[in-house]
Chain A
Amino acid sequence: MKTEKIAISLDLINRHNQEPNRNRYESRYFWEELYRLIAAAGFSAIEIPYEPVWQFGGRSGVPMNRYCVNTKYGDAAGYLAQLQASGIDRVAGVTFDPNLFMRNDSLDFYFGASGHFAGEGLDHAADLGADYFAISPSPFHGRVAQYHPDLTDKMETFTTRTVELLSGLAAKAEARGVSLVLRSEYWSLFGGKRLAPFYDALPASIKLDVDTANLFVSGISAPDFIAAHSGRIGCVHLTDTDFVDTGEVWKTPNPEHPSGRATQVFRDPGSGSVNLAQIVRQLDSLGYEGPVTASARQTRDPFRAVLRTRALLNQITK
């Protein structure tokens, strides 16, 4: 595998949880220095987590949606020019999760807002020339259950409407030349072993994301998953973890912070128990040449995480 093609996700910046110095993350200067540091660590491509929340409340310094990019750089081309001046050649992909819109008991609100902003995120990905738009098909299971205690009764409706939403996005993605990819988080209504029947109902143009840590948490073997879906892999996320969900944490409202026993679910790549070297070898043996993105989601030190990731990639691709 050519490591120079591996992107790094900007989700390594913990934008939402409290920690000292996080106020920096809301200003433009922070990101523009970060791009240079990411490039210095040997990455020339990034992934952007598309987050509509920064559109509201004047936080446009966080470059995670079209409004923010347009406010600070004029348009996607202006943003790309800034990246390229910092040593980042391209945006490999954009991710989207709809958790923000699961905030009341109205499914019309959820599907309306999610559909609107996912469409905007997909357009943004196309404008940035991204290879893929990776979407989480549901909010946290526990968050849905919080606002819809009758979720079991609504599951069929929820599934049907999700398939409709994704089918519409798939057509749009094809028209705009972006690969639509389905994420498979362990906390999803359609995560883990629940993915297969749902995935079968979707248009064939929708590809699958191989997220190594999410598979590990679900107790699914990543090599087996890759082998089973080798023809429909749309992107790979090299993520790490030490956590296996044996207590149905996936069903809780805040599944990335297990309430019974606090733990950092996602570890910096190379710091957990996922055999990333084996996975890279397997992808090589299958001749996979699609997008690969490293992610240090939940890292407690983003600058150390960038270098840890580079150290890992240097080691496993010797």
Chain B
Amino acid sequence: MPNIRYANMCHWKTIPYRKIENFREFYYEDNTNSAYYSDWDKILKYQSALGFEGIEIAPWDLADILPLFGSPESFTAFAKERGVEVIGMFHGAHASHDAGHFDEAVRAGREAVDTIVRFGGTYMNTCPTQNYFGTGPLSREEVQQCAKVMNEIGRYATDRGVKIGLHNEFFCAINLSNHRELIESTDPKLVHYCIDTAQISIMGEDLLTFYNDYHDRISTFHLKDTASSKLPDSVRFSQDPEITDDGTRWFWEPGMGELDLKGLYSLLKQHGFKGWMSIEYDGSPDLLASMALTRYFLDNELRPIYD
């Protein structure tokens, strides 16, 4: 068993079919490649063929997946038949910094944990609260409130075999000035950390320094590259900065940006990391091409350093 197993964070938009039985007929309706991206059977086979054994789903997928498969368990069985397991689900802890929202934030977190358990997953990577725009800067008390919610959800998750991992976006109200304060305000037995390599670099953390400092808190990764490290406050704190007006991409496939991912893998080896590494392709125009490029980079550049 390798030390690192690879998964994909699911960025597929709605996949409307389970399995298309009449594929050739469907293709001939308009002779386009849409047919290749319309059923989970093929999406999961692409993933499996490229060596990504896990999938991390997103909560916004549920409205489509559940009617299509009937239940989380049914999706999990379908994926497993194709060599893919559900490792967890992303979660956004909306307004967790707001004391008046404590019960709702905890309830939503617990429900997400329950959903993950039904999918057979064990990770819940969690954005600690909403965007900076319209919310930040947070007071010290609000950061502590956020930590309180994370601890509460973390306790519930831990009891059910799920690890929650803080996952910071570069545009989150938890940002460079209070990012580490939040981590250190949470209980390390209950709350872990998912390093999104691009997001924290864009936010202004140095990736290698951050991993060295917190390696014992790291539950998993979202591995992606960026050519936009240390964006200024004016961008990070602006309204809806994730999707740019002109098509500028913040995120690139591993190896297509400027992060020292080989340096990261040397540190993974030094600290003996064992677990899942989720690759993220948000912003890619072609998720399948991104997946294949990533597999090449992993096999030829990163896995020779540490596997």
- The interface of chain A, by Cβ under 8 A from chain B, is 16-24, 26-30, 57-61, 71-72, 100, 103, 142-143, 146, 253-254, 256-257, 259, 261-264, 271, 300-301
B284 located at the interface, meaning its Cβ lies under 8 Å from any Cβ of chain A in the complex: yes
Q: Which one, B13, B240, B283, B285, contacts A17 given CB within 8 A?
A: B13
Given the interface pairs A20-B286, A59-B240, the reply to whether A27 lies near B17 with Cβ below 8 Å is no
- Please classify how large the interface on chain B is, using the bins under 10, 10 to 19, 20 to 34, 35 or more: 35 or more
Q: Which one, B13, B22, B43, B239, contacts A261 given CB within 8 A?
A: B22
**B158 neighbours in A (Cβ, 8 Å):** none
Given the interface pairs A18-B12, A20-B37, A262-B20, the reply to whether A146 lies near B239 with Cβ below 8 Å is no
Contact B34 A19 (CB under 8 A): yes
**A22 neighbours in B (Cβ, 8 Å):** 13, 285
Given the interface pairs A18-B13, A58-B242, A262-B26, the reply to whether A27 lies near B247 with Cβ below 8 Å is yes
**A257 neighbours in B (Cβ, 8 Å):** 16-17, 38
How far does the Cβ of B56 sit from chain A's closest Cβ, in whole Å?
17
**A253 neighbours in B (Cβ, 8 Å):** 67-68
C-beta contact mask, B41-66 vs A, less than 8 Å → 1, else 0? Answer: 00100000000000000001001101
Given the interface pairs A142-B67, A262-B20, A262-B26, the reply to whether A23 lies near B34 with Cβ below 8 Å is no
**Given contact pairs A29-B245, A257-B38, a sample of 19 additional A-B residue pairs in the complex whose CB atoms are under 8 Å apart:** A17-B13, A18-B14, A18-B38, A23-B284, A58-B171, A58-B240, A58-B242, A61-B243, A72-B245, A103-B63, A142-B67, A146-B66, A146-B67, A254-B68, A257-B17, A259-B18, A262-B23, A262-B38, A262-B39
- The interface of chain B, by Cβ under 8 A from chain A, is 12-18, 20-23, 25-26, 29-30, 32-34, 37-39, 43, 60, 63-64, 66-68, 131, 171, 239-247, 283-287
How far does the Cβ of B134 sit from chain A's closest Cβ, in whole Å?
11
How far does the Cβ of B108 sit from chain A's closest Cβ, in whole Å?
12
Q: Which one, B20, B30, B39, B246, contacts A27 given CB within 8 A?
A: B246
**A57 neighbours in B (Cβ, 8 Å):** 60
Residue of chain A at shortest CB distance from B31: A300
How far does the Cβ of A303 sit from chain B's closest Cβ, in whole Å?
12
How far does the Cβ of A14 sit from chain B's closest Cβ, in whole Å?
8
**A20 neighbours in B (Cβ, 8 Å):** 33, 37, 285-286
Contact B243 A262 (CB under 8 A): no
Contact B15 A27 (CB under 8 A): no
